[in-house]
Amino acid sequence: MNTLRMTVAALGLSAFSSLVLAAGNPLSVHVLNLENGLPSPGVNVTLEKHVGKEWQSLSQGVTNEQGRIGELFPAKQTLEAGEYRVVFKTGEYFKKVGRDTFFPEIPVIFEVKNVDQHYHIPLLLSPYGFSTYRGS
């Protein structure tokens, strides 16, 4: 029974720490490799905002050992309503792990309507396919 309590407590602390990390920044990403079911560390990710007819670069980061970037939005800026693009540099990642891929990069365009919400963009990745959705 102690093992069950410890497991539940550990899961609760893990979820809580993720919430605390996300609470201070309006945007996070997570990359999981569907081929092996593991996180994808070392994926370069950029964030851009649609301004007029151009995309303005805001920040960039690299996924950690859990395949996450918990704080992708620039700390000194305020999230505004509008269109944003997260670009996952998947070609670089697959080259590092010795695999070919059909998608050298994956752009995910999303719209921010409510600036008080947290936006989470998960990417489920394989060499010849991907999926994404609005996470929490």
The annotation status of 68 as a binding-site residue, yes or no, is yes
3-state DSSP assignment of residue 86: strand
Give me the amino acid identity at 53: K
- Structure-block tokens of residue 51: 């301004």
The annotation status of 93 as a binding-site residue, yes or no, is no
Task: Outline where 1-136 has alpha helix (H).
Answer: 2-23, 90-96
The annotation status of 30 as a binding-site residue, yes or no, is yes
**Cβ neighbourhood burial of 127 (10 Å; 0-12, 13-18, 19+):** middle
Which segments are annotated as binding site? 30, 68, 133
Binding-site residue ranges for substrate:
30, 68, 133
